[in-house]
Structure 1
């Protein structure tokens, strides 16, 4: 199963590969993060009209590529002809990314309904279930993934909590009640992490009580998207397990200078929340 904690210091997740240090969601960005020693990459997946799983945050190519169109309505042949506006690269395929970084871990946000099946097929074809975590705001999408994972070891990816489960976990933390009473899924249901923002509007999500409640259920806490020293220091104080950042090389150096950088474990290793 994908490691979601480290023995010292938090895991660094390269958000879209590290969009402030390289063009987001490109092979260049993933390579940059990898060369900096970061082995956990957060990214996003869509499915083309002919069933190929591609890496892109937006549902359209308009912002990042030299064309226009909705990914779900375009074929791979059409998409493969486009080039990134900054780097000149082709839109990556998930299969290509898994092959290029065989000892990296991927936190993949399922952006649209219907992505789950094709994504799990690619993961199974590459024997990569133990290094993939599927994330989504959508509880129904996560249930599809968890049901498939429970019935097929080749598709046994981990998942994070959906929005409804996070709201229940926040409620448990703020009321100081047993989070199990709030029916928050945990490792037995295939969920191994709560991936959350520091704040949601006026509500502070991540504090010591939230981290403690998550750890009670065996869940790691990963916080997005963190790019300032002040926010990193606050998260270190409350003991989070992972930090999702657009500045992976910077964060790696920041943690290393404080003795808080841990080289990533080998694929297949399992680790739980820190003591």
Structure 2
């Protein structure tokens, strides 16, 4: 590679990073309403009546009015990306058409019932057409490259966030914001600050746009450290109203929940309380 090619390659990577940074800035701006920071609502797959990771479940997430709709992603033998959570052996030995036959489908997706397997291709096509933000929760490293190829096919770089298996993504796909899944073991009493520092330093060193935290590990210390480092903070899976209010109060950027309507009501209450407090201080 000559110097001109090296400069061109570096310019391409820098441009992609700039695009991802602009998306982050756009998210921040979108979160400012009535002069107050707004926490985004992430609709966990299966947030309605349909089983997790079905086409019907995706549409229920969209209909909920959530800011972000989550889907889990795995790869079949023929390379088809499917909405599935558990990496079953059958995925290594069968393609999409075979897996979608009732007998095999009942083994790889036992809770689907009469619902057929859903493809990420169809979800991205719909999301791109309707400007739906997606949380692609990749469940295996093999899903990274084909998922990113589909994101680019539908020019959905400005709509997709990646969590789950994402090793190497910030360097290889800087135009698609990836959040690092932090360790799920909660720190011991008195270790919160050290945990917060370690998590944020790791995310920054690896080039991630943010951190994705299990609710057991999300604390004010982590949020504070993340904000100082310029990282987004997402927390999952929060279904209790009191926890929703607590995480919103400490300033997380997004909460993933199976109860988006409840979360919306809690966030409305939290914003009203904040406004009343501001009015009293004036």
Partner of 1:202: none
CA contact under 8 A between 2:182 and 2:211: conserved in structure 1?
A: no
1:235 aligns with 2:247: yes
Which string of whole-angstrom CA distances, capped at 9 and with x for unpartnered residues, describes residues 64-123 of structure 1?
Answer: xxxxx6323220111233467556222111110011222111111221121111111111
SS in 2 for 1:158: coil
For residues 162-201 of structure 1, what are the structure 2 equivalents within 5 Å? 162-163=181-182, 174-175=193-194, 179=197, 183-186=201-204, 190-199=207-216
Structure 1 unmatched ranges of 5 or more = 61-68, 151-155, 200-204, 261-275
CA contact under 8 A between 1:192 and 1:219: conserved in structure 2?
A: yes
Q: How far off its partner does 1:221 sit?
A: 1.1
1:70 aligns with 2:90: yes
Structure 2 unmatched ranges of 5 or more = 1-19, 273-282
2:179 corresponds, among 142, 149, 160, to 160
CA contact under 8 A between 2:241 and 2:262: conserved in structure 1?
A: no
Which string of whole-angstrom CA distances, capped at 9 and with x for unpartnered residues, describes residues 181-204 of structure 1?
Answer: 974233x954122111121xxxxx
CA distance in 2, matches of 1:251, 1:215: 22
1:92 corresponds, among 113, 118, 122, to 118
Q: How far off its partner does 1:246 sit?
A: 1.0
Change (3 A) 1:53 1:91: same
Change (3 A) 1:206 1:71: same
1:251 aligns with 2:259: no
1:223 corresponds, among 235, 244, 268, to 235
CA contact under 8 A between 1:195 and 1:222: conserved in structure 2?
A: yes
The structure whose Rg is larger is 2
Partner of 1:54: 82
Change (3 A) 1:238 1:91: same
CA distance in 1, matches of 2:256, 2:117: 22
CA contact under 8 A between 2:203 and 2:210: conserved in structure 1?
A: no
Partner of 1:267: none
CA distance in 2, matches of 1:21, 1:56: 17
TM, length-normalised to structure 2: 0.72
Which string of whole-angstrom CA distances, capped at 9 and with x for unpartnered residues, describes residues 138-168 of structure 1?
Answer: 5xx421x223214xxxxx2111114469999
Q: Tell me whether 84-93 or 101-110 shows the greater mean CA deviation.
A: 84-93
Change (3 A) 1:225 1:176: closer
Aligned-CA RMSD value: 3.2
Q: How far off its partner does 1:207 sit?
A: 1.9
Change (3 A) 1:80 1:251: same
**Richer in helix (by share):** 2
1:23 aligns with 2:41: no
Which string of whole-angstrom CA distances, capped at 9 and with x for unpartnered residues, describes residues 10-67 of structure 1?
Answer: 111111252x54321122122122122113012211111011111111113xxxxxxx
Change (3 A) 1:112 1:232: same
1:142 corresponds, among 167, 170, 190, to 167
